Chain A
C-alpha cells in the first residue's frame, strides 16, 4: 500500500517534469505577423509577412527610430512551404494567430484564390477574425510595405479603416475567411472582396519619410469591390456600385448620399438605417427577383436656397427624388453586374433557393446563364426623419 502510494507520487511528479513544457513559446520567441500577402510569381507562391517590432510600437526606450514593422518574404511551391521558408530570414517563428489582414495579389486573384485558402482554413494557429482584401493594380507584397501614421502598424491600420469605412461610408466590405469560403462553395452566390490600392510611390511609402510629413506622399486606400466569378477575379465595382452591393446584402449601417433639389443644387442625406428585402418567385418556370429597399435618413446638408424644409410637402418631394435616384442606381448596377460580369454576387440564386427549393434543383446547374437575364424589379422606400440643429438653411434668408 505504502509502496503503491509512493509510486503514484513519483509517476505524477515525473509527468510534470517530462512534459518539458512542450508547446511553450515565450513572447520574445515570436514574430507576430499581423499582415500576410500572397502573390503568384510564375508557378510559385510568394508569401510576405508583415511582422511587428513590439519595442518600436510600445517600448519607451529611446534610440534611433526604426520602422515599426518588418516585411519578410519567401517563395515556395505551396503557401505553407513559403511561410516556413521565411525562417531562413527571420530570427523567430512567424506567429500568425494575430493576423489582421490577408492581402491577395491581383494576379493571384485573377488565377483563382481557392488554392491558397485551404492553408489558411486548415492551420491551427489562425483565427477567423482577420479580413481578406485584394491588392488592386499592384502586388500584395507592396501594399504591406507602406508605412502609416496614426495607427503605426500598417496591417492594423488596414484592418481598422476597413471596419470603420464599412460602418460609416459603406462602399467597402469586411470579408472574413468563413464568409469567403461559404460564398465560394455556394452555387447561388459569388464572393466579393474589397480592393486596396496604393496612392503614390511604393519606394517612398516604405521609408520613414512617409510618416514624417503631414500629408503622407504614399497612402493605402480602399477602393471599390472586386467581383469574383467562382474563385477568379473578373472585374471591379466603383464605389457607388459597391454601395449598392452593401445595401442588397444588408451591410449598410450608416452612409451618406446626395440628391438634387429642384433648383439643381445638392442636399446630403445621412442614412442611419437601411434594410432590404429580396424576394424570389417563379413565373412560368422563370425566376424573378423583387427588391424592396427601406432607407431611413436625416438631412445632413442643404445647399439649395429655395427649399422650405418646414413644409411637409418639401420633404415628400425630396423623398420622391431620392427614391428615383436610388432605384436608378440599383437598376444600373444590377444590370452592369448581370451583363458585364455575369456573376451573381448579390446572392439572388440563394434567394430563389430559399423561396423555391424544387425549382432551384433544376436551375442551379445553369444558374450563371439564367442570372444574366434575370428580371429584377426594384422598389425603394426612403424616409427623411430629422433636419438637424436648424430647420431652414440660413441660405434662404440670404436671398
Chain B
C-alpha cells in the first residue's frame, strides 16, 4: 500500500503552499496592570465580537477597586454569574479592608469568591481560550493577573435514550455532545480511583477537548503511551467529530474494516475500560471510541452480557451467521444459478427456473440492479426528512417489491435473496461493520459471476487473510481466533456464564487479568424441609 500512499500524497498535496497556513496566533503576551488596557486589548483581539459581554464594576465600599468580568454570552451560566460573582462582590462584600497596601487579589480569592473552580490567568493566550470555552474572566485593576472562573453553562441536550444501540434489558442512557457529561456518565459506573482521565486540546482553530480514559493497573501502559503518541502527532485545524481522530490514529487506512470501535453507550465504554482498553472521548460528539479493537468486539452487544448466557450465545451465533448471509447471499445465488445448477434439488431448480422464465437479464445483472436499488432506498431513507419517509418507503416497496416482479424484470427468488441480505445486515450490532459488509458484497458478487463458487472461495480467503493482517494499536485484529487463544474463546462465538469468564481478554502485556473469583452457584438443597 506504500505506493498508494505516495500517489495520494503526491496528487493532493499542493507543493506551492509549503507549510499549511497557520491560524492567526493569539498574542502570547502577559496581562497588563491597567484594567482599561486589558479590556481594550481583549475587545480588540476578539474583533469586538457581539457575544462578548464585558461588565466593569467596583468592589468594596470604602476603598473601591475597579474590576471587570468577561464572559461569552450563551456559553457561561449567566444566572450563576449574577448570584455568585456580581452579588457577592458588589453587594455582599464582607467587612474586610480592601486597601491598596494589602494583597487584594488573594483576599478576593480566599475570602470572597464563593465559586469552586478558580484558576489564575497571567497571559492573554490561555485567558482567551478559557473565555471562549465558556469560563468567566475576572480582572482587577492594578494586577497583571486575573481569575478564570469555571462557570460554563450552555444549552445542552440532556442525557437521552440511545438511538442507535437500543437494548431491551439494560441501561438506556446514551452519551451527549458534552464531554463533561460523558465523563460523568462513565464515572457514575466506575467509582475506582484508578479510573484516570487526561485531557488535551486538539485542533488549531477548534481547540477541541479530547480526553482519554483508562483504568490504571488494568490497562497496558504501552497502549496508553501509544495513544498519547498518536494523538500528539495530530496537527489539524479542526476536530468536529471523533471520526476525524479515528482516521488520523488508526493503524491502517486502506482497509474496509473498522479498526477502532465506537459506541454511544456508557455501559459499553465501562465494560471496555474494565477489559483494559482506552476510551477516547471527544467534546461535541456523543460517540466515544475504544482502542485497541478486535473483530469480535463488533459482534458483541451490551445485551449479550445482560441476558442469560445461553441466550447470549445463541444470539451471537445468529449474528455470525448473518454476517455470512449478508456478505454472501447474493453471490451464492448468482454462482449456484449460473454455474452450479446441479447442486440444487430438482424441484427447487424447476421452481427457480420457472421464476426466471422471461427474465431478460442475466442473474448477475439482476442481482446487481436489485442490490443497487436497495442501497439507493436505504441511503434515501437515512437522508430524507422524516415527514416524507413514509411515502418513499411505500414507493420503494411497491416499485421494487411488486412491480419489478410483475413486470418480469426480476425474479421473485432474487427479491427474496436481496431482502434476506438486507435484513441480515441490520442484525449486525456495529453499523460500521455493516457498512464494510455492504461494500464487500459487490466485489463478491462480481467474483461469483466470473468464477462461480470458486471465485467466492477465493474472495473469502482474500478477506480472511486481509483481516488476519490487520492490527489495532498493536493487537492482532482477529485475536483470539488468529493468533488462537483457547481461554479467550469464552467470549467470542460463545458467551460463557459470568462465573466462567475468569480472566480479561488477553490484549498486550496486561498484568491484572483476574476478573471473576466466584464459583458457579450451588443448589441450596431443599429448603422446605424442617
Contact = CB atoms under 8 A, between A and B. Distances in A.
Q: Do A and B come from one complex?
A: yes
A368 B342 CA distance: 41
A92 to B, nearest CB: 11
Interface string A256-269: 00000000000000
A97 B341 CA distance: 8
Q: In the complex, which of the residues A30, A52, A58, A127 has the most CB atoms of chain B within 10 Å of its own CB atom?
A: A58
B122 interface: no
Given A16-B450, A58-B351, A23 B339 contact: yes
Contacts of B354: 54-55, 57-59
A59 B359 CA distance: 13
B363 interface: yes
Given A5-B3, A21-B450, A26-B362, A98 B346 contact: yes
A152 B221 CA distance: 73
A21 B338 contact: yes
A247 to B, nearest CB: 31
Interface string B6-24: 1100000000000000000
Contacts of A32: 346, 349-350, 353
A28 B359 contact: yes
A34 interface: yes
B6 A26 contact: no
B342 A125 contact: yes
Contacts of A95: 341
Given A54-B354, A55-B354, A27 B6 contact: no
Contact of B352 (A1, A27, A125): A27
Interface string A1-44: 11001100000000010010101111110101010000000000
A2 B449 CA distance: 30
Contacts of B356: 26-28
Interface string B506-527: 0000000000000000000000
Chain B: interface secondary structure?
Answer: helix
B450 A27 contact: no
A156 interface: yes
A100 interface: yes
Nearest to A152: B350
Given A27-B337, A55-B357, A97-B342, A16 B349 contact: no
A388 to B, nearest CB: 36
Q: Is the interface on chain B under 10, 10 to 19, 20 to 34, or 35 or more residues?
A: 20 to 34
Nearest to A130: B346
Contacts of A58: 350-351, 353-355
Task: Name, among B7, B341, B446, the residue most crowded by chain A CB atoms within 10 Å (CB to CB).
Answer: B341
A21 B449 contact: yes
A156 B363 contact: no
B350 A28 contact: no
Interface in B50-105: none
B6 A54 contact: no
B451 interface: yes
B341 A59 contact: no
B349 A98 contact: yes
Nearest to A98: B346
The winner among B3, B341, B354 for most chain A CB atoms within 10 A is: B354
Contacts of A156: 346-347
Contact of A54 (B337, B339, B353, B452): B353
Contacts of B363: 26-27
Contact of B341 (A16, A30, A100): A30
A95 B344 CA distance: 13
A21 B446 CA distance: 10
Nearest to B338: A24
A19 B450 contact: yes
Given A19-B450, A100-B346, A54 B351 contact: yes
Contacts of B447: 16
B281 to A, nearest CB: 39
B357 A28 contact: yes
Contact of B353 (A2, A24, A27, A153): A27
Interface string B353-376: 111111100110000000000000
A127 B346 contact: no
A27 B358 CA distance: 11
Nearest to A1: B3
Nearest to A16: B450
Contacts of B346: 32, 34, 98, 100, 156
A305 to B, nearest CB: 49
A70 to B, nearest CB: 14
Contacts of A34: 346
A99 B72 CA distance: 83
A124 to B, nearest CB: 10
A2 B342 contact: no
Contacts of A127: 342
B449 A57 contact: no
A342 B296 CA distance: 70
B395 to A, nearest CB: 25
A156 B447 CA distance: 35
B358 to A, nearest CB: 8
B446 A59 contact: no
A177 to B, nearest CB: 15
Interface in B435-456: 446-447, 449-452
A317 B3 CA distance: 93
A346 B347 CA distance: 35
Contacts of B449: 21, 24
B471 to A, nearest CB: 22
A18 B450 CA distance: 9
A203 B449 CA distance: 45
A25 B356 CA distance: 13
A97 B357 CA distance: 19
B451 A59 contact: no
A95 B341 CA distance: 10
A102 to B, nearest CB: 14
Contacts of B451: 19
Contacts of A27: 337-338, 341, 349, 352-353, 356, 363
A26 B3 contact: no
A30 B342 contact: no
A57 B446 CA distance: 31
Given A28-B357, A54-B357, A59-B357, A98 B342 contact: yes
A98 B452 CA distance: 19
Contacts of B341: 25, 27, 30, 95, 97-98
Contacts of A100: 346
- The residue among B3, B349, B446 with the most chain A CB atoms within 10 A of its own CB is B349
Interface in B307-358: 337-339, 341-342, 346-347, 349-358
A24 B347 CA distance: 21
A155 to B, nearest CB: 9
Given A54-B350, A58-B351, A98-B342, 20 more contacts: A19-B450, A19-B451, A21-B449, A24-B362, A24-B449, A24-B452, A25-B339, A26-B337, A26-B362, A27-B341, A28-B353, A28-B356, A28-B357, A28-B358, A32-B350, A54-B351, A58-B353, A59-B354, A98-B346, A127-B342
**The 10 residue pairs across chains A and B that have the minimum distance between CB atoms:** A54-B354, A58-B354, A97-B342, A54-B353, A58-B351, A2-B3, A27-B356, A59-B354, A55-B357, A27-B353
23 contacts: A5-B3, A6-B3, A24-B449, A25-B341, A26-B356, A27-B341, A27-B349, A27-B353, A27-B363, A28-B357, A34-B346, A54-B357, A55-B354, A55-B358, A57-B350, A58-B351, A58-B353, A58-B355, A59-B357, A98-B341, A98-B346, A125-B342, A156-B347
Interface of B: 2-3, 6-7, 337-339, 341-342, 346-347, 349-359, 362-363, 446-447, 449-452
